[in-house]
């Protein structure tokens, strides 16, 4: 019987981070699926949990936690199970550095491309009126601006080019980093791996031009290792459609 409820979308990017962290810790939780493409996150029922209307969110007894990376840190500290932060202070610093680099620099670039190529088109069948009504329910003004751009394909070519540049540079830096240690940030699997895997597990499918066994051997070695973790496999088995399909496609490649 869990007194933990996780409100999440698919095992992908931000929603996947606490899903995987809880799975790695062996912590049972009640799953509350939020269909992001139907804007469940802006419905009154969810806004009563998180008034900001962002996902994921987690409740632990009476506590409400938001922001995926900060939720993961809480999960690691509050529950028993294998440590997901290294003990050495410098390794801990490096875990935090890479998570911020992903959350605030590289991740938003992945998102912009993802929203442009997947999220926006997924909403295109809705009428303009319907989309405007969905936008009007978004509590945070900056999220409203971002969603508008995705819905009406308003990202400029310059913005998209800058995002593509950052993805190329970020992958290059990650390749270098994984040449230094077994995992991102330290020699032990940590929250940094969980964070970064959630935004890079699909690179072999979506960005084969910059990520391959030849171009990025260190990333490849690391992806293969993380993909095979039981907690990772259990987490992606909880997903649906496109996300689990992509995961399975890469997994078959690694197993071949």
Partner 1 sequence: MSMAILYHGEPNGPSLSVLAALAESGLEIECRAISLRAGERHGLPEVSDSTALDFAVEGEGPVLVIDGEAMSEAVFIAQYLDEAAGGCGLQPADPYARWQMLMWCRQATERLSPAAAYIGLHASAAGEAALDTIRSDDLRARWQDWLDGRFDEAKLADSRAKVAQFCQRIEDQLADGREWLMGSFSIADLETFAWIRSMRTLEAGAFSGKEALNAWLARVESRPSVQAALARSTTGEPERAFAPGPEINRWG
- Contacting positions for partner 1 (CB under 8 A): 63, 65-67, 70-71, 73-74, 77-78, 89-90, 92-94, 96-97, 100-101, 104-105, 108, 112, 142, 145-146, 149, 159, 162, 165-166, 169, 173, 176-177, 180
Helix (H) or strand (E) segment spanning residue 65: strand 63-66
Q: Which is nearer to partner 1, 66 or 182 (CB)?
A: 66
SS3 106: helix
Nearest residue (CB) to partner 1, 89 versus 230? 89
Judged by CB, which is closer to partner 1: 96, or 234?
Answer: 96
- Rounded to whole angstroms, the Cα distance separating 201 from 126 reads 30
Nearer CB in complex with partner 1: 172/225: 172
Are 112 and 155 in contact by the 8 Å Cβ rule? The answer is yes
Choice between 109 and 244, CB closer to partner 1:
109
Q: How far is the CB of 228 from partner 1 (least distance, A)?
A: 27
Are 100 and 170 contacting, i.e. CB atoms less than 8 angstroms apart? no
* Least distance CB 142 / partner 1 (angstroms): 6
DSSP structure class, residue 37: G
The DSSP-derived string for 111-166 is HHHHIIIIIHHHHTTS-HHHHHHHHHT-SSHHHHHHHHHHHTT---HHHHHHHHHH
> What's the min distance (Å) between Cβ of 70 and partner 1?
5
Least distance from partner 1 to the Cβ atom of residue 65, Å: 6
> Least distance to partner 1 from the beta carbon of 104, Å?
5
Nearer of residues 165 and 242 to partner 1, judged by Cβ: 165
Q: Report the alpha-carbon distance of residue 200 to residue 98 in Å, rounded.
A: 13
Task: Tell me the closest approach of the beta carbon of residue 188 to partner 1, in angstroms.
Answer: 16
Which residues on neighbouring strands pair with residue 30, listed in sequence order? 5
Q: Which residue bears the tokens 């907690």?
A: 231
CA distance 192 to 251: 21
């Amino acid at each position: 019987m869990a007194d933990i409820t996780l409100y999440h979308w698919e095992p992908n990017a931000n929603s996947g981070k606490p899903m995987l962290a809880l799975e790695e810790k062996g912590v049972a939780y009640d799953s509350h699926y939020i269909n992001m493409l139907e804007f469940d996150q802006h419905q009154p029922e969810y806004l009563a949990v998180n008034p900001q209307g962002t996902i994921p969110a987690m409740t632990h007894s009476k506590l409400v936690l938001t922001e995926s990376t900060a939720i993961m840190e809480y999960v690691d500290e509050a529950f028993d199970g294998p440590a997901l932060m290294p003990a050495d202070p410098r390794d801990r610093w490096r875990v935090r550095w890479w998570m911020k680099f992903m959350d605030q620099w590289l991740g938003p670039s992945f998102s912009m491309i993802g929203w442009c190529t997947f999220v926006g088109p997924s909403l295109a069948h809705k009428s303009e009126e319907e989309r405007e009504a969905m936008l009007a329910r978004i509590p945070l003004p900056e999220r409203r601006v971002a969603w508008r751009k995705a819905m009406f394909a308003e990202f400029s070519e310059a913005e998209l080019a800058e995002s593509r540049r950052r993805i190329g540079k970020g992958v290059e830096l990650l390749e270098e980093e994984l040449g230094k240690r077994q995992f991102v940030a330290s020699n032990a699997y940590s929250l940094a791996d969980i964070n970064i895997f959630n935004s890079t597990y699909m690179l072999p499918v979506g960005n084969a031009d910059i990520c391959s066994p030849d171009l990025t051997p260190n990333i490849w070695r690391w992806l293969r290792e993380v993909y095979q973790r039981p907690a990772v496999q259990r987490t992606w088995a909880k997903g649906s459609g496109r996300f689990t399909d992509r995961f399975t496609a890469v997994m078959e490649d690694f197993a071949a």
